[in-house]
Structure 1
């Protein structure tokens, strides 16, 4: 078995064994559609080749000077159990270390039990868990507390929050979709200039969020516009209500049909969202982290 750089001509071979990755789930695998963009980007994508057949594929990308993100690990059904995932992942770890990374992270759907076990076996440790809140866009809702667009307000609300402690400082990355990196003051200042930042500042700094992107995607009823927010952090129900109202107004101003906001997977945060009828995804997502300075993450 040989590890090599993925090529555009591998697209059909990769798509052939990833189109039905989760046959018992309604959601399909994104990899067949996104693969050409992977190859064109500045990411590091590897395939394992055995006898002229693609046995596995995965990608690593740098989110900051010291943070790497691993994604898209897929192994051909005929090669599962042969160490393909470990070989590819540790090669990606080596590449990330060469770029200066100290940590590599990944995300696994909580229902994907085989991948949860695989992540632990190849060098990842549990890091945190979160899920999406989905407040409906609403142009008429008014926050009952004062909401500012000041990034420094948002930073201090984040720095002192239970959400930050639970999420180990991680929030949705401004560049890479479905990737989490350490949220910085500079990130929030950039978001204030390019997208939007929200801070509930009423008798103290009590909640924060920021918009990462808005985009169109195909839904059951045709094309939908989504607005996506990097994290939601709040001190209490009153602050959460004001924060979700600000998000709902912002999404409506964009013409969005739907929203989603990362929130910590805690009883308090998820039940607050439910109490406020802000909606939530059915299942959480788990984040793993590998210490690239540790010997066990080396081949």
Structure 2
């Protein structure tokens, strides 16, 4: 309820909180209570319009007609719902509003035929973990995260150029016969190529032996042949092979995106460096669903850095960083930091998040 000053006081009962579908006019209110979520701000208000236009279920919780909570449910694969961006106005937390939003999200996902709901929760976000457990979610896998900055990155002197004309269309940036890198330890040729949807089945056989989920940033789906083929069509599905054509490693790289902050490792900035007003933004990309031998993984990471740098040059945007995420218990996870260190690549480890899952009975 509003007091005489016009501010919202805590509702005395949950019945005073209304959960409804979000509307365009909710955006200013959402920006107001999410702008200081993190040291660098928050992405929710900027993503809100895309959420509404993207075929998602977007819910707000309101008190006295004013939005005080928000969440989004996306449907990235058939039968799979992805819960993201749940936020509640700080002074109204611990009032059950997040639970109300989550229940509405689960009900909406069930109506749309989802068989499973998932969410990604930071390892130290105990409040969200507790909420997830209360709602019946369970953690199914841990995701290890690190970033590799483009600043200061140089190609090994023995490497052949991974890219030619960087003015070619984005889909053509990954040439199927041009990218070649030299492994400094074995001196064997490792070729990194883009996998087509028709070839995704071959990659599935190798990937399914090591990983369970498909994703390259904050959205993960089940690793299936169908989902892998769609990822190959929509993103950059990369494979590293030796000179005999043997599969060494694979990974999924996102299309580059613009960020207003990058990770720095600075404790004063919460590990983030934001672009000041009027300064250029950063071009970043995600790399995930990593599997295979260490030398192949390293070749893919180098290849991804070259792709990102070429795209930044083409768009005249400051090169940012490659956000790397890998299933923590997969064979590839343990070797990535050491191979980056041995290759002289700077990186920052961010710990882990948990992938949480709720199975639905339709």
Matched with 2:208 is 159
* Matching residue within 21, 25, 37 for 2:50: 37
Q: Is the 8 A contact 1:154 1:209 kept in 2?
A: no
Paired with 1:192 and 1:6, the residues of 2 have a C-alpha distance of 32
Deviates more, 1:182-191 or 1:69-78: 182-191
Q: Is the 8 A contact 1:191 1:212 kept in 2?
A: no
Q: Does 1:4 align with 2:20?
A: yes
Would you tell me which structure has more helix in proportion to its own residues?
1
| TM-score normalised by length of structure 2 | 0.69
Matched with 1:169 is 213
* Matching residue within 211, 215, 230 for 2:253: 211
Structure 1 outlier segments of 4+, above 6 Å: none
Structure 2 residues not aligned, in runs of 5+: 1-16, 160-180, 184-189, 262-273, 313-318
Q: Which digits, 9 at most, give the CA deviation of each residue in 1:22-53, with x for residues without a partner?
A: 4xxx3322112222322333111111222223
The 3 A distance-change label for structure 1 pair 193 and 19 is closer
Local SS of the residue matching 1:46: strand
Q: Which digits, 9 at most, give the CA deviation of each residue in 1:152-187, with x for residues without a partner?
A: 3422221222xx1xxx33323xxxx62111233344
Matched with 2:321 is 258
Q: Does 1:83 align with 2:151?
A: no
Paired with 2:321 and 2:241, the residues of 1 have a C-alpha distance of 26
Q: Is the 8 A contact 1:214 1:225 kept in 2?
A: yes
Q: Does 1:228 align with 2:286?
A: yes
When Rg is computed on C-alpha atoms for both structures, the one with the higher figure is 2
Q: Which digits, 9 at most, give the CA deviation of each residue in 1:119-159, with x for residues without a partner?
A: 22222211212133434465554243344434434222212
Matched with 2:239 is 199
Paired with 2:89 and 2:237, the residues of 1 have a C-alpha distance of 42
Local SS of the residue matching 1:11: helix
Q: Is the 8 A contact 1:63 1:69 kept in 2?
A: yes
Q: Is the 8 A contact 1:138 1:252 kept in 2?
A: no
Matched with 1:297 is none
The 3 A distance-change label for structure 1 pair 193 and 90 is closer
Q: Is the 8 A contact 1:67 1:181 kept in 2?
A: yes
Structure 1 residues not aligned, in runs of 5+: 295-299
Kindly state the Cα deviation for residue 287 of structure 1 after the two structures are TM-superposed.
Answer: 1.4
Q: Which digits, 9 at most, give the CA deviation of each residue in 1:203-246, with x for residues without a partner?
A: 74331013221122224463222232232112x33333333333
| TM-score normalised by length of structure 1 | 0.82
Paired with 2:80 and 2:115, the residues of 1 have a C-alpha distance of 6
Kindly state the Cα deviation for residue 193 of structure 1 after the two structures are TM-superposed.
Answer: 4.8
* Matching residue within 12, 16, 34 for 1:18: 34
Matched with 1:281 is 349
Kindly state the Cα deviation for residue 269 of structure 1 after the two structures are TM-superposed.
Answer: 4.1
Q: Which digits, 9 at most, give the CA deviation of each residue in 1:86-133, with x for residues without a partner?
A: 221111111111111010111122232222222222222112121334
Q: Which digits, 9 at most, give the CA deviation of each residue in 1:240-262, with x for residues without a partner?
A: 33333333343344345422232
Matched with 2:66 is 53
Paired with 2:282 and 2:18, the residues of 1 have a C-alpha distance of 42
Paired with 1:197 and 1:139, the residues of 2 have a C-alpha distance of 22
Q: Does 1:95 align with 2:111?
A: no
Matched with 1:105 is 118
* Aligned residue pairs, count: 281
Paired with 1:124 and 1:193, the residues of 2 have a C-alpha distance of 31
Q: Is the 8 A contact 1:154 1:198 kept in 2?
A: no
